[in-house]
Amino acid sequence: MSDISKFDPNSVGLKSNNIFGLPFTEEEAQLVLLPVPWEVTVSYRRGTARGPENIFNAAMQVDLYDPDVEDGWKKGFYMQPLDKNIRTKSDYLRQCAELIISNMIDGGEVSENEQLSEKLKEINEGGKLMVDWVYEMTTDLLKSGKKVGLVGGDHSTPLGFIKALSEIHKEFGILQIDAHADLRDAYEGFTYSHASIMFNVLDQIPNMKKLVQVGIRDYCNEELDIIRHSKGRITTFFDKDIKAQQYEGVLWKDICRQVVDTLPQKVYISFDIDGLDPKLCPNTGTPVPGGFEAEQIFYLFKMLHASGREIIGFDLNEVSSGDHIGDGIDAIVGARILYKLCNYMVAPPKN
């Protein structure tokens, strides 16, 4: 472990250190973050591929004292360097995807266009490459004894990580904070679409026994059918139902207890930033009115930890600062969400 006796947690965050200005190497850190700068299939606005670097920069403004998990940072957090090859691949395939999406919006059929059909094939092959890369990177980290978090990128990025965890944990559940259900089957023809992440998890990872979705407020009939016919494998706390309970006097504490009670002992957290009120993430790819204050989700995490459940991993996705850094507060909100996730990931378990 790094000698932190000379590190001042009250001083300015130094970029010469690592995430949150912490002075840990990868070897010294208990928790390692994998940045995945990928946004090939985003449906509306781009920018999430720059999320990891924007969050890293904004993280220097986060004070290290956390009243919920005091001194969690002393366990060591470290973000790996960005893989520029992954980002370059994403940028190229994103241009291909934009051509396909534009064609579809105009009423075209990709199958009738040889050039677009080839681009679609290339995109799906690229998505598989990304999933495999994430799987290999996270598998190596887990085998070395590290706790792991993933920072995207769009919401397609954690599939390989969840696969890696499934080889360690016999059974686990996912707590998904999101505006969208993400249960589309190859949305827009993209096998690894950001809108298909939970469909792919359910389809490919049988020991993911329970998906608990919170804040869902933008979904289609097919996704609703999947939820209704999941035989209890999916429990969805729709945003409108949560708000109705609150309007009728139900405490947020009691709603959080409902959520936590549906989860198994081992929990993976998948956090799409658009689960929050869009005033906190105005530049995310597909913002949706409604959602939560950050403090509400922090309270949910607090209750999850207090229940004695084990957080086995997490991802944070869809953070974008728009075309110009500084257009919104997305990155700083993302950095604070990330810090809270990191702290609960290393927090001592409740007995």
Alpha helices in 174-293, H assignment, sequence order:
197-204, 221-228, 239-247, 252-261
160 vs 163: CA distance, rounded Å: 5
Instruction: Tell me what the pLDDT averaged over the chain comes to.
Output: 94
Distance of alpha carbon 346 from alpha carbon 283, whole angstroms: 30
Mean pLDDT, to the nearest integer, of 68-87?
A: 96
Which of 105-109, 128-132, 228-232, 308-312 is the least confident region? 105-109
**Is residue 237 domain-resident?**
yes
* Cα dihedral across residues 121, 122, 126, 129: positive or negative: positive
Has residue 149 been placed in a domain?
Answer: yes
Higher pLDDT residue, 282 or 321?
Answer: 282
Distance CA 265, CA 171 (A): 9
How confident is residue 349, by pLDDT bands cut at 50, 70 and 90?
confident
Q: Are strands 147-152 and 310-317 parallel, antiparallel or unpaired?
A: parallel
| Domain-located, residue 3 | no
Strand runs labelled E in the chain: 31-36, 77-79, 147-152, 172-177, 208-216, 234-238, 266-272, 310-317
Task: State the pTM of this model.
Answer: 0.96
Pairwise CA distance, residues 151 & 314, whole Å = 9
> 172 and 312 in contact (C-beta within 8 Å)?
yes
Nearest-angstrom CA–CA distance, 48 and 246: 32
Where does the pLDDT of residue 1 fall: very low under 50, low under 70, confident under 90, or very high at 90 and above? low
Output the pLDDT for position 327: 63
Find the domain containing 143 and state its range: 22-346
Flag whether 217 is in a domain. yes
- Percent of residues, the chain, with pLDDT higher than 70: 98
**Phi, psi dihedral angles at 180 (to 5 degrees):** -115, 150
- CATH code, 241: 3.40.800.10
Inside any domain, residue 9 = no
Of 324, 322, 318, nearest to 337 (Cα)? 318
Convert the pLDDT of each residue in 115-165 to its tens digit. 999 999 999 999 999 999 999 999 999 999 999 999 999 999 999 999 999
- If you average pLDDT over residues 44-48, what whole number do you get? 87
Cis status, amide bond into 290, omega within 30 of 0 = no
Spatial CB neighbours of 112, under 8 Å, sequence gap ≥ 6 = none
Number of domains in the chain: 1
- pLDDT of 253 > 90? The answer is yes
Beta carbons within 10 angstroms of residue 236's beta carbon:
22
Residue 328 within any structural domain of the chain:
yes
Whole-number pLDDT of residue 283: 93
Q: Report whether pLDDT(223) > 90.
A: yes
Q: Is residue 105 domain-resident?
A: yes
What are the residues whose beta carbons fall under 8 Å from the beta carbon of 63, sequence distance 6 or more?
A: none
In a domain, 226, yes or no: yes
Q: What is the mean pLDDT of residues 235-256?
A: 98
